[in-house]
Amino acid sequence: MIRTFREHQLRRTELLDGPWDFAKDPENVGIQEKWYERFPQDTQSLYVPSCWNNELGLYDYEGVGWCRTKLQLDHTRHVRLILHAVLGHADVYLDGKHLGYHYGGYTPIEFIIPSLAAGEHELIVRTDSTLDRLTIPTENVDWFHYGGIIRSVELQYLPELFIQQFKIGYELSGTDANVSVQVQIRSLAQAQQTTRLTLIEGGQELQSEQIVVEAGGTVTYTADLQWTGVRLWNVGQPELYTVQARIDEDDQIERVGFRRIETKDQRILINGQPVYLKGVNRHEEHPEWGFAFPPKLMHKELDIILELGCNSVRGSHYPQSPYWLDLLDEHGIVFWSEIPIWGALLPNDTVSEPLFQERALTMIREMIGLHIHHPSVVFWSVHNEIDTRTPEAYALTERLIQAVKEQDTSRLVTYATMHPLEDILLPLFDVIGINKYFGWYEGEVGGFKAMLEQFHERARQLGAGDKAVLMTEFGGAGLFGDVGWEPRLFSEDYQAQIVAEALDIFRSDPKIGGTFIWQFADIRGDLKSSSRHFRDRARGFNNKGLVNEYRKPKQSFREVRRIYRSWSE
């Protein structure tokens, strides 16, 4: 399942999920040997979507992997092929022909293939999970980055006139919405064609228009609709509207929620009401599935997060599944979406590299394209823990913020800083996220107080004193099951104690608008015996989860549940 609701009633779609052939290519000879024309004989079966590192013998395999499946067409058809997410570098081949290359990991890659002939076709994907100094994330990163096709592969059958894009935007004034709908209709036909475009919401026809599309052309139709008295989406108030754009033989369904987001007096306001964010950082990762996190487990994850008393989730550190965001939309939970620039160990010269910047900009565009309609998304975050003391970081940030604003001005632009007292970027953002680990990497938990006082003063001096500030990371490791009589480092007791103390400090600081604990669940780390990083990651995991990797609660979970549930919004 890609979404929790049907995206099409008319368009026929099919998932190519299931067993694919898989061949690893550790010597990287596949291109030279034309594996895209002659797939190797010696393969293993790999379920798609998945990460190959969850298979026997491939736990540590980083590099090139080739995946192949066959598809059957009963008639010649126009098709749209969507690979919903492939980690790292992806080259897609159909019947030996290169359809295209994509770099990324958490956003879809798609191709329109007109008149694909009836019969059998071979689809091959070459993926490369290797990280280096210009990949995003770069080679030193605090999660295991896996390899493979991590989200569904979808085949859609297109009629000659089809809906290529459907976007819904709006301006709110009270409960009146100025809704602007954009439908792009594309023709794969040899001659001019006419179709009737109808917009439908909740079974009601909103607008209907005859549209003429030239042979091979594209028409963008825009409708401005006035909706009065809309039900507003808010935290714990998941009011959603499902809108269908329909032409004679095709359709697309999108879902939106109406809410107004702003900041005032250092608070996040939704529909004019301040909301205190009670959150966790969530990696979309599981020991058996890697990043190919199954929808069924997302439901359970959501239940656990609700049980904890959260009203928000930071999607650390990459664009998460639309299915997950659908669930958040449906439960009125705020989401923070970000791209995987993970900076703690990022060399500062990397951020000025044109290729790195191009990749980052593409990731921003693709993340926004993927998540634009989700009312749960309140924040677009452009990077995490880069060296925000430098002019290089400043220059990159300006570009990234500009890219966000070109696509969406209705949400808050943010980032997470690990240098709050020296950061020169504070004035650039709507919201500032602070990552700090007093009680773990530095000093005692009480150190947060003095740090925050200095931070607020500094922000004021930089002209950023009115910005909303969130504690986006804090916490410490607690090994599941390690409980004793006193709070020792790495015990559940110690973790529970520092998280609880930190939460108290933040809640009594009127300039802090919310807290995101690092982290929801333990995750696999990226430990290499040859590298000096992350040597404190016992079991090879980042153990700062409130639940372990199998989502079993630690003491910190119970403490946070007590605290979050006692806080009013």
Which amino acid is located at 293 in the chain?
Answer: F
- Is the Cβ of residue 246 or residue 317 nearer to ligand ADA in the bound state? 317
Contact between 387 and ligand ADA by CB under 6 A: the answer reads: no
What's the min distance (Å) between Cβ of 532 and ligand ADA? 15
Is 384 an interacting residue with respect to ligand ADA (CB under 6 A)? yes
Q: Is 95 exposed, middle or buried (0-12, 13-18, 19+ CB in 10 A)?
A: middle
Least distance CB 76 / ligand ADA (angstroms): 49
Quick one: 154 or 492, whose CB is closer to ligand ADA?
492
Closest by CA to 255, choosing from 198, 328, 319, is: 328
Q: Residue 153: which H helix or E strand, with range?
A: strand 153-158
CB of 448 to ligand ADA, least distance (A): 14
Q: How far is CA 372 from the centre of its chain?
A: 11
By beta-carbon proximity to ligand ADA, the closer residue of 38 and 535 is 535
Least Cα distance to 93 among 24, 41, 37, 22 occurs for 37
Beta bridge partners of 473: 435
- Residue (187 or 435) nearer to ligand ADA, CB: 435
Which of the residues 511 through 530 are near ligand ADA (CB under 6 A)? 518
Smallest distance from ligand ADA to CB 70, Å = 39
Binding flags for ligand ADA, 339-358, as an x/- string (CB under 6 A): -----x--------------
Least Cβ distance, residue 93 to ligand ADA (angstroms): 34
- Position 271 contacts ligand ADA (CB under 6 A): no
Bridging pattern class, strands 468-473 and 377-384: unpaired
Nearer to ligand ADA, 317 or 551 (CB): 317
Three-state SS at 406: helix
Among 140, 414, 497, 542, binds ligand ADA (CB under 6 A): 542
DSSP state string for 44-92: EEEEESS-GGGSTT-TT--SEEEEEEEEEESS-EEEEEEE--B-EEEEE
544 binds ligand ADA per the rule CB under 6 A:
yes
Per rule CB under 6 A, count of chain residues that contact ligand ADA: 10
Based on CB atoms, which residue is closest to ligand ADA, 159 or 290? 290
Q: Interface mask (CB under 6 A) for ligand ADA, residues 302-341, using x and -? A: ---------------x------------------------
How would you write 278-343 as a 3-class SS string?
Answer: EEEECCCCECCCECCCCHHHHHHHHHHHHHCCCCEEEECCCCCCHHHHHHHHHHCCEEEEECCCEC
Lookup result for tokens 């220059």: 395
Choosing from 7, 21, 91, 142, the residue that interacts with ligand ADA (CB under 6 A) is 142
The Cα 550–Cα 226 span in angstroms is 48
The contact pattern for ligand ADA, residues 447-486, with x = CB under 6 A and - = no contact, is --------------------------x-------------
Strands (E), 188-249: 193-201, 204-213, 218-227, 241-247
**Near ligand ADA by CB under 6 A: residue from 385, 492, 522, 549:** 385
| Shortest CB 149 distance to ligand ADA, Å | 24
Q: Does 284 bind ligand ADA (CB under 6 A)?
A: no
DSSP bridge pairs for 413: 380
CB of 534 to ligand ADA, least distance (A): 8
Greatest alpha-carbon pair distance for the chain in Å reads 80
Nearer to ligand ADA, 18 or 540 (CB): 540
Mapped onto helix, strand or coil, the DSSP state of residue 213 is: strand
Closest CA to 290 of 552, 548, 57, 51: 51
Cβ 197 to ligand ADA, closest distance in Å? 45
Interface ranges with ligand ADA (CB under 6 A): 142, 317, 344, 384-385, 435, 473, 518, 542, 544
